[in-house]
Amino acid sequence: LDGTPVETVDELYQVAEPARYLFETTISSFLRRMAYEDDEELRKASAACHFACASLKDRGACARKASRSHVSKVFDVVRGTLICDSEASLAALCDAMDDDEFVKVVRTKNRFARPGATGVRDLLASVSVNVAATLMPSSNANDIVEQELPTLIDEKGELDHDALERHVTSKVAKEPTVAHRCELRITLKQFEACDRRGLKSYAAFADFFAGCPSKRTSMLRASRHELILGVPAIEATKEALLKWGFNVHGRSAEQLGNFAELFWFLGDREPCMEIRERAALAAAMKAGSVSRDHATHLTNLGLELAKHKRHTEAAAALEDACSTWEDVGSTGINAGKAMKVRARRTEELLHAGDVAAALANAREVLKEQRNPATLLALARCLRLSQEYKEAEPFIREALDITKEKRTKATGLYELASILVGLGDPERAEECVARYEESIVLFEKLGDDRLGLALQGLANVHRRIGDSDRARDYQAR
């Protein structure tokens, strides 16, 4: 560019309107000149081709594009399309344009050889036009002419139009100019329909195709467009799209990364973390590595699935994480990681309704770690398996050693539930007391299991014949 590159969108658009006029005039004049050339191919090409200059690029779209690089790198504010009827015509016009003294082509992109992300095939030429200061909206050209008017009056006292034209032309020639790059797209008529579809796709997903500024490569944009085009006619739900994506691209770290960006672009960020963890796993699997990072990604994936209440998948991911942590080793910073993940897996198996697997998992965990959390987990699994007698000592041991209020509240609730399961009338009083203690703690902690404890206590009072208290707790 001549002088200093523009720094704002406003500066760019200040030159754009006169640049559009000059660009349209330059290309139209070039085609008219070609119609009088001696070369028959050029005459045919100029007669058969069609040139159209589009309106200025939308300011919002320009600002978004500028945000990905710099406003001075936006070359398509002024743009036009030249459609040729054959390859020979296109080649002839391009050669002539290179040799033409009035058309200044400063850059070309041959997208016939390497199509863009959308599959559009064309030749992009950046045509530079020099916009004189007097043609810009902020110029004072009228004032200049008015000051010089006395010298432009002929002998009859009238304005000499020839002299005025010479005067303005000389002023423009002496004025400093701003070089504005315009985009000329040269393509073939037979590509028009498919290119229109590709450009429509690009208009809808332009920001998605562009991606991260630091990774703006043709390969990335092409893979993202391949992802979009690959989506079949499936049910229009997020679940169906996720299922398709994981089935088709589950082993491709690149496409899973694109998949996550697609959801981010569409404004649904909820699945992004899960997809990114799957992408990291796919990359680790491709590298054939078993590392701490691999185990961490599996653990994070399991926790992310649990957050979205996909408990069966979460349990499976956590099981893989346990195995990977064990392969990594259990010393230093990795110590105890496998067992912590296995303990969390018990909870996911219970949520998934697989009580038998949860019980077996809880027993394995307790062999390695005996603490209030593992004791509570095993007791809960035993209660749900209706093994009340076996569960009671574990829950009492947990209550004896715990100092944490939430664990104590949970333990009291579990103990009361076990006593209900045992069905011993002589222990009804203790059952009521444990429920009442858990209710007090749940209220202080704001725990959502308060309702379950109140319902349990109402059921106990109903069993022992105290219907009034049962109604009160049921109402609460």
Alpha-carbon separation of residue 192 from 119, 121, 229, 362, 379 (angstroms): 12, 10, 19, 65, 70
Look at residue 37 in the predicted model and tell me its pLDDT.
87
Question: What whole-number distance in Å separates Cα of residue 428 and Cα of residue 39?
Answer: 108
Note every long-range contact of 348-354, with CB atoms under 8 Å and residues 24 or more positions apart, other chains counting: 348/302, 348/306, 348/311, 348/312, 348/314, 348/315, 348/318, 349/311, 349/315, 350/380, 350/381, 350/384, 351/306, 351/309, 351/311, 352/311, 352/312, 352/314, 352/315, 354/312, 354/315
The mean pLDDT value for 96-108 works out to 91
pLDDT value for 67: 82
Q: Any idea which of 43-52, 199-208, 416-425 has the lowest mean pLDDT?
A: 199-208
Q: Is the pLDDT of residue 318 over 70?
A: yes
Residue 288 CB partners (closer than 8 Å, separation 6+)? none
Question: Which is nearest to 263 in space by CA: 197, 203, 200, 205?
Answer: 205
Average pLDDT, the chain: 82
User: What pLDDT shows up at residue 290?
Assistant: 60
pLDDT at 285 over 90: no
pLDDT score for 137: 60
Please tell me the total number of residues recorded for the chain in this structure: 476
Per DSSP, the three-state class of 107 is strand
pLDDT of 207 reads: 67
Percent of the chain whose predicted confidence (pLDDT) is above 90: 21
DSSP state of 135: G
Arithmetic mean of pLDDT, 138-162: 56
| pLDDT (tens digit per residue) in 206-261 | 667 665 554 444 555 667 777 777 777 778 788 888 888 888 888 888 888 888 88
At 397, is the pLDDT very low, low, confident or very high (cuts 50, 70, 90)?
A: very high
Closest C-alpha to 365, from 345, 343, 388, 333: 343
Overall average pLDDT of the 67-96 stretch: 90
Confidence of residue 203 (pLDDT cuts 50, 70, 90): low
**In which band, very low, low, confident or very high, does the pLDDT at 141 lie, cut at 50, 70 and 90?**
very low
Tokens of 228: 């979009």
Measured in degrees and rounded to the nearest 5, phi and psi for residue 257 equal -65, -45
Write down the pLDDT at residue 108: 92
Quote the tokens at residue 234.
Answer: 């499936």
On whether the pTM is more than 0.85, the answer is no
Give the rounded percent of residues in the chain with a pLDDT score beyond 70. 82
CB 195 within 8 A of CB 93: no
CA distances in angstroms from 253 to 17, 257, 301, 308, listed in the order given:
45, 6, 15, 22
Instruction: Write the DSSP assignment of 398-433 as a string of letters.
Output: HHHH---HHHHHHHHHHHHHHHHHHT-GGGHHHHHH
